[in-house]
Each structure stands twice: as structure tokens, then as C-alpha cells.
Structure 1
């Protein structure tokens, strides 16, 4: 993928050729002076609404990263919020930014930040991370604050619970977002809502949830945080119109902002065949498969229903924030993750270890991975289908797909795993599933040349201690 750069001051323009599409990015805001290639690359995706994707290099989703990098990216965004909204310099932001830019001193900088007291918000604030991509980012932002709650949206259907919010993300492959706060008063008592996403393109998803919250709970103060913000002037005008129409305030902050212009035909329009790399013709390797059952105490005992109507009785974890998490409760998350990571560390069998979160289960595995020692790379499976091409600068070098173990009607994708590269793989599963449902995933990983696979299961179905 070729790109060119022009201009020495904002707006800077960058041109990318993405398999038949020409994407022009004009930067209008860059408060931390990030080189765009530090934050993202581009790739072609199978989506009729938009045929390309900004592939984040600091999110821990599509690209394997040092697990401290996405944790620090969230801290960078949270510190930006503290300074711009509350006028306080709570974090050594420059050290955080330099650690992300250079991928150096990340462990030390993160340790310094988390050793400081959390920022006490002047009014009760609810942070909401968007599934599935920003569940980890949202939690990383929230981890800086006191007097706050965290809740992430979910695509899971949980019939035992009535969703407090139900809204759509029109351009996504999985459009429906649901919110299931365990405490029904959570939205009623919050004075400010902070929405966190990895990227804002039109801002319509944020406007949809703001409209839904306002209609039911009449909250008047909103902040939208994102790594990237590509809204046009018209899109930004829609935010102002909603402010005036509903008599509320919406503020937006990002690490990078600008406008994009797209020309040409997207790849799936030119060639509809499935380019997802498959492993059917590859040799299977002998793989040692082990299970690590964490048996975590704090669980939410509800069942989900997949797209075929089958129930999963395995409980969810409380610690993820899917059902709401207070700042006080979250104070136990870091020491718990550290304990688990340090317990897993002696069992590692090599110097290059890949830790893989699954779907919405991103932040807690990311945090555990950070404490498993040197040589760790972390990312997660995704629902987003993207075309792989092994060429320099292109965001997705290879791709593998298998049915989601929790829901066989949903395809999971995992990207950028080089053949014969890692010594071992740790797959983190929030909920226990049958061995039969794991087989397609295990077949894929057996053909990647990774000799050892550990399944880290956080919440076995046989748990006796459950929390409703």
C-alpha cells in the first residue's frame, strides 16, 4: 500500500491506495504530535457501506502488540479528558505518549501511572465502551477515575435481563448494541456519560446512544472520546443540532482528527470472492493443548442465547464491566490480573508468546498478559471480515476464520499471525464452552506452527459460587 505526505503544518494530507480505493486523509488536529503510522494502517474490508478500515496499531484488536501499548493508549485518552474537561494535569502525558510512540519503557511508565491515586471526578460519571472493538479501550480509560462506573455495550442476547439501552451502529457488521447494567439505577444516577470508541467516522453511533439515553434518563452532559475522529463538517453539525434540539452538551476529544475523502471502487465490488486465508491445505502440526481454569469468584449467573436459539449456561465475569463496574470494584481488577499473570508466567514454554482475547473479552486478558513477562504479544479475535494481502504497509497480512465458540452462527476472524513464529499461544475465554465447539478454532491454530496452546478459561460452567 502506497502513501504520500504533503504539507508541513496542519492540515497535513496523507494519501493511501487501498486495493482500488484512494483514501485521502487531511489531519486537522494532532494534540500529541503522533505520526499517523504509529496509530493506524489501512486495509480493505468486506462491507458494502465502507470498503476499507483503519487498522489500529494501538488497540490490541487486529494487530498483535505489546499489551502495555493499548493500556497506555487508553490512559493517554483518559488523561486528555482530565486536562481538557477538568483542567487538571493528573498524568505525565508526555511520558505516556513517548512510550506509545517508541514502544519503549511501557512497563515502567504504566507502573508509575497506576501507582498514583485515581482522579476524583466532581460528579458521578458513567463511562461506556462500544463493543466489540472498544471494550478494552473503554476500560483502560475508566481505570484512571474515581466516582465513576464502567459499562460496555454487548451484542450478546441475555433473555433473563431487560436491556437498559438498545441502539444500532449502522455501518457495522453487527449493528445491534445492548446494555445490561446489573444496577438499574446506574443510568438514572449518572450526571455525565463518557462514550469511548476507537474511531468516529460519522458520529451516528454516538448520536444514536445519546438519543436513547436522553429519551429514557434525561442526562444532559456527554463526552465522546476516540483514538481517531474523521467526522466531516456536516457530521459535526449534526452534533450541534442535537445539542440544540435536546438542550444538552456534547464534547468530543481524540488523539487524531481530520477528514477523509474516498474515491475509486472498493475491493469487494471488483472481486467478490472470499480472500480470507484458509488453512485447509496446510500441514497440521502436533500441538500440546492444555487448560488453565481460573475459577474466578465474582461472576454474573445469567445465560445467553446464540443466533440458533441454543442456551449457554456458563456465567459471565463481573470484572469485564458488561453488567456495570464501579471505581471501587475496579480497584480489585489490577491486583487480580497481576496475580493471574504472575501465576501463568512460570508455565510459559518459550520466549515469543501470543496472548489472544476473544470477542468482547479484551481488557482483562490484556491486563493479565502484561504481567506474564517479556516477549508477550497481545490482540483479540474480531467479527470484522478484512481482506488480507502480504504486502509492506498493508494492515492485514494474513487472516484466519472459525465459528465463534460461544455462538456457532457468528464467524470469528484473527489476523496477522505469522506461520511458525510464536512458541506458544494463550487463548483467553471468558466462559467455558464444550470441546466440540472449540474444535474449529483448535484446527486453525494447529496449522499455524505454534507447538503449544493453553486455553485460559475464566468462568467454568461448573462454578458453584455465582453472583446474580
Structure 2
């Protein structure tokens, strides 16, 4: 158990004052502080257990998934729909869903994640993440009839993000879902950190118009006093309704009612090819995060020294919890700058770059920048290594 803390941090973009409650985890276990190149929000609670901007042991990620799944109220009216927020919390939400299904296999539950890409001809519902560097978010309607009915008949939403600071995005998404499905009668918010404060937490049900519960690994309240900041140039998001960005329809965008299968056979082949004591990084790309995590778990189970993280479109300054930053083109072809944080060339003996999009120049340049290998996941079990030479 951690003690309550009061923290004051001078960021290049302003002053952060944070008070936290006593809980199961300490601030330092879960997060660091970073500064964002974003005039809408100049700070970032940079998670050390999310597997996005910071390298994490798969076991530590799974511990958080299970901890948050255990806090989903047992008496929620079903069916349940778990929705993970793109891009940062896609892996977290899928991990929480799978941990919940493992503990409650008989409960009817659907997983779907939001996206910034449109796949196939599926109908999309748009909502806003106003403070984001890329504010437009989309939720796809499942094409499978059974999964579609789960969404349309759900009575509870479990909305998953890495942090809650205002609750606005959760509110926008829940309103969009309730327009689609008027049967929804409860919303549960699930986050690693919840810094909205006690008064805001108590006002959630009134604000949402239906009963709302919230659970986090760490809770408290923050105050950020912004300083001067100019945003980085360049577009953060380019959405063309019918552009094929190579996003896969089978990994969660169109809904799943089961856990994804870990690529155990593939992991066994990789592990057998590594030399003893090699340091391995499994690097997801953009919204493709959960299968890389499952690969990391499978490698870890075979004794491999492995960590997991992902590329991101979020511009973060090289300060605080960000010691290194590599910039490259995005592999989804939007022409939007992407980044890898806290990775230096030569830090790992093996860098396994996992991607859902077909191989392209952006992926090849990324592999060359970090000395990595490319692995194209066409499905859970069909994985092809792409030559980087």
C-alpha cells in the first residue's frame, strides 16, 4: 500500500501540483511526469505500466490489467461492453477485458476499441477527445450480427483509458453510445490514474445522467498552471473517410467477444533463436498494441528478458520521464509524425517491431533507426517477418 502524497513539479510548460490518496500503488511505481508539445494540455502523466511511452515488463502490465478488472463491479447489469480509448489505452482496455473474461467466463461481454482509422465499409460513430493532439475518434459498428446485438442490447459500459483528468472524453463517448443504445443504464470508468478529485467523482452520475462508478490504480487531484508553449508544426490527424490505412478489422475495431490468442508457437521459435541473456524489446506500432503485449507475455514465459512498448503520435518534449525521442513517419500513411520514446539504438539486442499495416517505407526507416526486425501480423497466428535490407 502507498501513502498519500503531495507533489509539486515545475515542467517546461507550466506548474503541476498533484495530491494523491493512499492506495495499492505509489506514484513512482505507476507514472512519471512529462511535458507535451500541445497548447491544449501541456503535461502528461506518463505511465510506467501502460506499455506505450515507457518500456514495461509484460508481467507488470498484466498485474495492472488484473487489478483493474477486479474492480469492475460484480453486479453490473449485462451484457457489458468494454471500450478502450485510442490510441494510448487500446492495449490496456483489451487487457482489462481479457482479465475480466478469464475471471467471469459466463458473463456476456463485448470488447471494441475506438480508432482514428476507418476499416472496411463499417458504419462509424464519431466523438471528440477535445484535449488530444488528434481529437477525432471513431467507434465502428460490429459487422458480425452476434457482436452487433451485444452492443445494441448492452446495459452497462466499461470505458477504459490510461488516465482521467476531466472525464470529458468518457462523457462524450457514453453519450454517443446511448444515442445508439437507450438500454444502457450504468457506466463504469476504468483508469490507471484518476486525478479528477473527489468532488468530480461524486458528481459523475449527475453529469452523465445515469449511475456511474469509477475505479483506478491511483487516485487524487491535480492543478496545472500553464506556462508559455507553442505547438509543434504539422498536422496531428488526417482523416479521409474511405482511405485504406492498412488497419486490421480482426483485432478489436469491429468487436470481439473473446480473448485474442497469444502467438505461442511464434514466440517459441523466436525464443529458441535468441542467444542467452539477450535483451529484447517488443515494439507495437500506433493502435496495434495488444498482440505485441501477448507476444511479450509468451516470450517472458519462456525466460526471455523482454520489455514491451509502442510507437505513438503524441508529441512529448525531451524532459522528465522522457530521456530519448526518435521521430519518424507514421506507418498508417497519414503523413503524421510518430515517435518512439525512451529507446536508444543499441539499448536492446533484439527489437521486434510488430505491425498490422503492410510493410512500407515508414516501417523500414523505423526498423533502421532502432536496429529492429519487422513482423507483420495478418492474424493472431499468421505472422510474417519482413526483410529490412
Taking structure 2 as the reference length, what is the TM-score of the superposition? 0.85
Give yes or no for the alignment of 1:161 onto 2:122: yes
2:346 alignment partner, SS class: coil
Change (3 A) 1:344 1:19: same
Could you tell which deviates more after superposition, 57-66 or 228-237?
A: 228-237
1:25/1:259 contact within 8 Å kept: yes
2:247/2:332 contact within 8 Å kept: no
Give yes or no for the alignment of 1:37 onto 2:1: no
Residues 248-327 of structure 1 aligned to structure 2 (within 5 Å) = 248-263=210-225, 265-266=227-228, 268-269=229-230, 307=239, 311-312=243-244, 316=248, 318=250, 320-327=251-258
2:283/2:309 contact within 8 Å kept: yes
Separation (CA, whole Å) in 2 of partners of 1:155 and 1:186: 23
CA RMSD of aligned residues (A): 2.6
Residues 171-182 of structure 1 aligned to structure 2 (within 5 Å) = 171-180=131-140, 181-182=142-143
2:283/2:292 contact within 8 Å kept: yes
**Equivalent position to 1:191, from 140, 146, 155:** 155
1:257 alignment partner, SS class: strand
C-alpha displacement of 1:315: 6.8
2:131 alignment partner, SS class: coil
Give yes or no for the alignment of 1:395 onto 2:321: yes
- Map of 1:212 onto structure 2: 176
CA deviations over 1:409-462 (Å, ceiling 9, x no partner) = 22211000134221121100113133x3434323422xxxx4xx32111119xx
- Map of 2:9 onto structure 1: 16
C-alpha displacement of 1:198: 0.4
- Map of 1:109 onto structure 2: none
Separation (CA, whole Å) in 2 of partners of 1:408 and 1:439: 16
- Map of 1:137 onto structure 2: 92
- Map of 1:283 onto structure 2: none
Change (3 A) 1:20 1:314: closer
1:407 alignment partner, SS class: coil
CA deviations over 1:326-355 (Å, ceiling 9, x no partner) = 13xx2xx34x42232222222335611111
CA deviations over 1:82-129 (Å, ceiling 9, x no partner) = xxx228xxxxxxxxxxxxxxxxxxxxxxxxxxxxxxxxx873111111
**Equivalent position to 1:348, from 274, 283, 293:** 274
1:357/1:380 contact within 8 Å kept: yes
Change (3 A) 1:400 1:310: farther
1:306/1:407 contact within 8 Å kept: no
Taking structure 1 as the reference length, what is the TM-score of the superposition? 0.71
Q: Gaps spanning 5+ residues in structure 2: where?
A: 383-389
Q: How many residues align?
A: 361
1:317/1:459 contact within 8 Å kept: no
- Map of 1:239 onto structure 2: 204
Separation (CA, whole Å) in 1 of partners of 2:123 and 2:311: 27
Q: Gaps spanning 5+ residues in structure 1: where?
A: 1-7, 88-120, 275-304, 464-468
- Map of 1:441 onto structure 2: 366
- Map of 1:86 onto structure 2: 74
1:206 alignment partner, SS class: helix
1:55/1:62 contact within 8 Å kept: yes
- Map of 1:150 onto structure 2: 111
CA deviations over 1:369-401 (Å, ceiling 9, x no partner) = 122242111100011000113xxxx21001011
Separation (CA, whole Å) in 2 of partners of 1:307 and 1:213: 21
- Map of 1:421 onto structure 2: 347
1:397/1:415 contact within 8 Å kept: yes
- Map of 2:292 onto structure 1: 365
Change (3 A) 1:214 1:380: same
